[in-house]
Amino acid sequence: MKRVNVLLDIILIGVGLYLTMTDPAAKTLGIILVLAGVTSRITGTVFSPTEPYDERQGEIKIRSGHIAYLVSIGYLFLILILVNLSIIKDIQFALLLALGGQILLFPITLLYVNRKM
């Protein structure tokens, strides 16, 4: 099962990179697919699919979810300030930054909390 998950993650990242590089109309979709593949790979690295679910995993997921939620509020506020000050001029790029940050924040926090515990 682990090999299938790794293969699916690589396919997501590969298709996302292909769409991002070749098709300007599907660039946003390609970036989202890359982010989904990276997120799935990080989560699979932290908690192996073959490892049984226990209370420690639940506690780590809950704690990292709380931290990611708090940090994401500040992150979105920072993006809004940058758009308001016209540092980021393209609103679609700002939304893509916000979405990318939201998608990647939980797995990064998951890695951090897992190493701390």
pTM: 0.75
Whether residue 93 sits in one domain with residue 47:
no
The string of pLDDT tens digits covering residues 94-117 is 988 898 888 899 999 999 998 887
The string of pLDDT tens digits covering residues 83-95 is 999 999 988 889 8
Whether residue 44 sits in one domain with residue 64:
no
Whether residue 42 sits in one domain with residue 87:
no
Q: Report d(CA 9, CA 38) in Å as an integer.
A: 7
Domain count, the chain: 2
Whether residue 103 sits in one domain with residue 72:
yes
State the pLDDT at residue 81: 95
Above pLDDT 70, what percent of the chain? Answer: 98
Tokens of 4: 């299938």
Cβ of 61: how many Cβ atoms within 10 Å? 19
Closest CA to 114 of 80, 67, 73, 52: 67
Whether residue 117 sits in one domain with residue 62:
yes
Whether residue 60 sits in one domain with residue 100:
yes
State the pLDDT at residue 58: 86
